[in-house]
Amino acid sequence: MLEFKDVTIQYGQNVIVRKFNMKVESGEIVSIVGESGSGKTTVIRAALGLLPGDGRVSAGDILLNGQSVLSNSREEWLKLRGDKMAMIFQDSGAMINPIKKIGDQYVEYIQVHDKMDKQAAYNRAVEMLSNMRLPDPDRVMNSYAFELSGGMKQRVGIAMAMTFNPELLLADEPTSALDVTTQAQIVRQMMEINKKYHQSIICVTHNLGLAAYMSDQIIVMRNGFIVESGDRDAILNHPQNLYTKNLLSAVPTMGGERYV
């Protein structure tokens, strides 16, 4: 469904990601792990055509269902973004307009993609927020971003991204701002939707335990390069690269839900 072919990404003259290859099948969950600054965010934002600053794909190609997205027009992106492809950002709070209420923005978002009246859209939003274990979703809807905690804002971002069960969900450290219980709950929900709607997920994470728990494929990045990639089991049980081995040894014991 999504394929990166020898993708090189640079900010200005700085080449940040080199020859990145990745193939995500429909219904598959792929995790990208790697240290801070290795280019994980850069890679998944490229998939949505939303590289920050003056970032651009300078070589290679990104294909969605066989079609290159690099030359997509604004209108073509409009049809994809928020509907077929959605993104959970590393810092969801910053992705919300600070002077408009969460509820207004959520309803606006729903109405852009679905011919619902305001009340129906509002109810749908409240339902999604409750799924994220947000207490008192009505209050959240009636708040501005600055009135919520970081974890609450993150859950708003996750709820928004999951509203339309996108075919491709791009998640940039979706749960690192959350407590362990909420994290487990949300990851479980992501996996449920993945099963139910045959949705593809690319999940960036620092947490190798989480990657092990949810993914089919794992990609290990360092300094803009893929150092190792492949089936989860292959990576976990027979890591070839020293860097991956080090990452793995940092996780106390392997396997099982308790790392989530």
Partner 1 sequence: MKVKTVVKRVLEILVVLLGVSFLTFSLTYLAPGDPALASFTSQGISPTASEVEEVREEMGLNKPFIVQYGTWLGNCLRGDFGNSFSMHKPVVSVLLQRLWPTLKLAFFSLILMIIIAVPFGMVSAVKQNQWPDYLVRGWTFLGVSIPNFWFGMILMLVLALQLHLLPVTSPDTGLTSMIMPALTLAFPMSAKYARQVRTAVLEELHQDYVVGARARGLSEKAILWKHVFPNAALPLITLLGLSLGSLLGGTAVVEVLFSYPGLGNLAVQAITSYDYPLIQGYVLWIALIYMVINLIVDTSYNFFDPRVRLGA
Ligand X SMILES: Nc1ncnc2c1ncn2[C@@H]1O[C@H](COP(=O)(O)OP(=O)(O)OP(=O)(O)O)[C@@H](O)[C@H]1O
Stretch binding Mg ion (CB under 5 A), from 25-33, 84-92, 145-153, 212-220: 84-92
Q: Which does 209 bind (CB under 5 to 8 A by kind): Mg ion, partner 1, ligand X, none?
A: none
Alpha helices in 28-165, H assignment, sequence order: 40-47, 74-80, 102-113, 118-131, 137-141, 150-162
Residue 207 binds to Mg ion (criterion: CB under 5 A): no
Query: Which strands, in side-by-side order, build the sheet including 2-11?
Result: 14-24, 2-11, 55-64, 67-68
Structure tokens at 109: 């978002």
Q: Which does 86 bind (CB under 5 to 8 A by kind): partner 1, ligand X, Mg ion, none?
A: partner 1
**Contact call for residues 202 and 27 (beta carbons, < 8 A):** no
How far is Cα 204 from Cα 219, in angstroms, rounded to an integer? 9
Q: Which does 39 bind (CB under 5 to 8 A by kind): ligand X, Mg ion, partner 1, none?
A: ligand X
Which is nearer to Mg ion, 90 or 200 (by Cβ)?
90
Query: Using the rule CB under 8 A, which residue among 35, 76, 147, 192 binds partner 1?
Result: 147
Q: Which of residues 148-177 bind partner 1 (CB under 8 A)?
A: 160
- Residue 227 sits at φ, ψ, to 5 deg, of -90, -25
Query: Using the rule CB under 5 A, which residue among 10, 31, 38, 41 binds Mg ion?
Result: 41
Rounded least distance, CB 87 to Mg ion, Å: 12
Residue 215 binds to ligand X (criterion: CB under 6 A): no
DSSP 81: B
Query: Using the rule CB under 8 A, which residue among 78, 180, 242, 254 binds partner 1?
Result: 78
Stretch binding ligand X (CB under 6 A), from 33-41, 91-99, 117-125, 195-203: 33-41
Which is nearer to partner 1, 24 or 107 (by Cβ)?
107
**Contact call for residues 113 and 84 (beta carbons, < 8 A):** no
Helix (H, G, I), strand (E, B) or coil at 15: strand
Q: Which residues contact 11 (CB under 8 A, 6 or more apart)?
A: 51, 53, 54, 55
Which is nearer to partner 1, 88 or 208 (by Cβ)?
88
Residue 42 binds to ligand X (criterion: CB under 6 A): yes
DSSP 139-175: HHHTS-GGGS-HHHHHHHHHHHHHTT--SEEEEESTT
Query: Using the rule CB under 8 A, which residue among 65, 97, 123, 246 binds partner 1?
Result: 97
Q: What is the binding site for ligand X (CB under 6 A)?
A: 11, 16, 34, 36-42, 52-53, 55, 90
